[in-house]
Amino acid sequence: MAGVRVTSVDWQRSGNGAAHHTQEYPCPELVVRRGQPFRLTLDLSGDLDSEETLIFTVETGPKASEALHTKAVFQTAELEVGDAWTAVKESQTESSMSVSLASPPDAVIGRYQLSARASSRRRHSDRKLGEFVLLFNPWCPEDDVFLASEEERQEYVLNDSGIIFRGVEKHIRAQGWNYGQFEEDILDICLSILDRSPSHQDDPATDVSHRHNPIYVTRIISAMVNSNNDWGVVQGQWQGKYGSGTSPLHWRGSVAILQKWFKSRFKPVKYGQCWVFAGVMCTVLRCLGIATRVVSNFNSAHDTDKNLSVDKYVDSFGRTLEDLTEDSMWNFHVWNESWFARQDLGPSYNGWQVLDATPQEESEGVFQCGPTSVTAIREGDVHLAHDGPFVFAEVNADYITWLWNEDESRERVYSDTKKIGRCISTKAVGSDSRVDITGLYKYPEGSRKERQVYSKAVKKLFGVEARGRRTWIRRAGGRGLWREDLLEPATKPSITGKFKVLEPPVLGHDLQLALCLTNLTSRAQRVQVNLSGATILYTRRPVAEILHESHAVKLGPQEEKKIPVAISYSQYKEDLTEDKKILLAAMCFVSKGEKLLVEKDITLEDFITIKVLGPATVGVAVTVEVTVVNPLLEKVEDGVLMVEGSGLLQGQLSIEVPSLQPQEKALVQFNITPSKSGPRQLQVDFVSHHFPDIKGFVIVDVATAK
């Protein structure tokens, strides 16, 4: 007897999609999550005998094998058993059977081939039923990526848009980002990122077998999102010149970047900076089922020589000496956190893990960073895998300013120390507000606990006891040699200084500030003030000098004086970068050799408003009204609105803005037709060759069609 054959399968995509929270994926295959049953109905060529079972085979990757856990063979039973693949018979008719399949909660994720045969048929008569995709499962308590809160799962796994915080510590700005993990082809692209990694190219079968582990998968993705060392997704560029590609600030989301990489046969997409790398990595990890968020760290240290201090060298005008300054403090830096268990470190280090795809420093010979346990950073356990010292320094390093003299000697300069690692921020769950999560990374600045953690980190890093908060570990004259050297802090001078903004700094307008100097003593003092100003990138790298002047100031006892500082639009317009940032510095030389450096980071303001005129409903056109202003004192004729939003419109929309006279306001209307319900993010950028992009976004609540 030939036996019963399996003739076809109903994947029950709708029911399985709802149960597995995968109904938003538009791909033709079934998408399910590991550790959770999914139902199939199989059509049979006849009636199975009561002793007969169906034998299923699932396989993923090349050279799939049971030894590598990339293949499993299992048969229908009445009950689920253990931590293996199972098939439970739910019901049977003469010509069909409903079964419930389940993978173990630590199954390898990826695209699987499913085949089946009746137990009475020969081993090689398996019927290939098709492919399905298996993802990580934050809803499954036994999965390493399990996240207990449903609100957090909705935000960190299923939300396809978000907010990235940029700017400066005193002026944090929200930028919308379209993650778009459920857009066409994105799941395929995310799986192909894993397949393009050097680990996969070197040993595909072993690489696939490691894909059960979120530690392994996230580390691979952190390397593959940048293009250093491999054919990764995004190429970084921090020089302010983007002629051969797209400026990092032009991107509004990850979808266009990932699709471009895929369609160009894996050619790195030009260009990205930190928030672009973080936005793309968030898309990939949410798509694969790992709860992930984007985090911004203000005054972020890039400690190249790993001595827990950022050393900045300046000249007598407070200008950064680029050739001497290897370390840097960025206005902000953006990375990711993903939520999973650390089976390699132990349960105390479960939870949020730092991952950073921005190519800053190599780790194990590759530009990758993380996963680093946030708890380990807070507790000073910097010796634990992976990349603890670098992340610890990003939020804890000290910022030291040195005056470099013409005779090549150097001396400490008192500066109202920029505290590293401020206002660490992420988007709130279920709303657009900013949440400060600095307390997850470190204890309160200056507290006893913070000093203890710093000392512990120093001991783990350098094997020396920290003498108080300020043990300085410095490179000796010969590179690569270490010595311990307790530096005396710079003498606190007898004057104070601060830049005050007299009018809000607006793009296209003149800047009006004052340097306020106060004599703290009861005697008169003379102060030599050297002022400089430069347009900068968000990494605080100077682009062009726009101010250079000196003042001799006499301060009476306890007197405060204001030195006016004016920078006209014509002074900065040619050299302003798309970051819209200017750095002012005043190096003050007081009698008795005292020195004071006063700095001010300025971000220029701009203006755009977006209104949705009326209720938004799936399948019904609704009008959007955008108000823009020409920020310049000259005519602008090439203005365009660039519009994007997952579930609100297909791809991107480009709308011409009428010619605008200097500082003229314009209203522009257009229609969108939402395709998905729920809160949706609409991004609108006002773009012109004459000024940096002016970016805005609005959340549109879309109702289901009645």
Half-sphere exposure of 343 (CA within 13 A, CB side): 10
Q: Are 702 and 678 within 8 A, CB to CB?
A: yes
Q: Where are the beta strands (DSSP E) in 93-126?
A: 96-102, 110-118
Assess contact for 311 and 402: CB atoms under 8 A.
Answer: yes
Q: Is 131 annotated as a binding residue?
A: no
Q: Do residues 419 and 445 make contact, with C-beta atoms less than 8 angstroms apart?
A: yes
Find the helix packing angle between 388-396 and 448-462, rounded to 10°. 140
CB atoms within 10 A of CB 346: 11
Determine which one of 143, 207, 311, 356 is catalytic: 356
Helix (H, G, I), strand (E, B) or coil at 625: strand
17 closest CA partner among 5, 6, 9, 25: 25
Using DSSP's 3-state secondary structure scheme, residue 276 falls into: helix
Cα 570 to Cα 138: distance, rounded to the nearest angstrom: 54
Residues in the chain, total: 706
User: Which residue's structure tokens are 């997704």?
Assistant: 233
The CA distance from 41 to 93, in Å, is 11
51 is in an annotated binding site: no
| Helix-helix angle 186-195:274-288, to 10 degrees | 100
Structural element, H or E, at residue 47: none
Quick check: is 356 catalytic? Answer: yes
90 is in an annotated binding site: no
Give the C-alpha separation, 294 to 296, whole Å: 7
Catalytic residue selected from 333, 369, 381, 423: 333
Catalytic residue flag (residue 171): no
The catalytic residue among 274, 287, 423, 588 is: 274
Any known ligand binding at 396? Answer: yes
Biggest distance spanned by C-alpha atoms of the chain: 112
- The vertex-459 CA angle with 458 and 460, nearest 5°, equals 95
Q: Which residues are annotated as a binding site for Ca(2+)?
A: 396, 398, 445, 450
Q: Which residues are annotated as a binding site?
A: 396, 398, 445, 450
Catalytic residues: 274, 333, 356
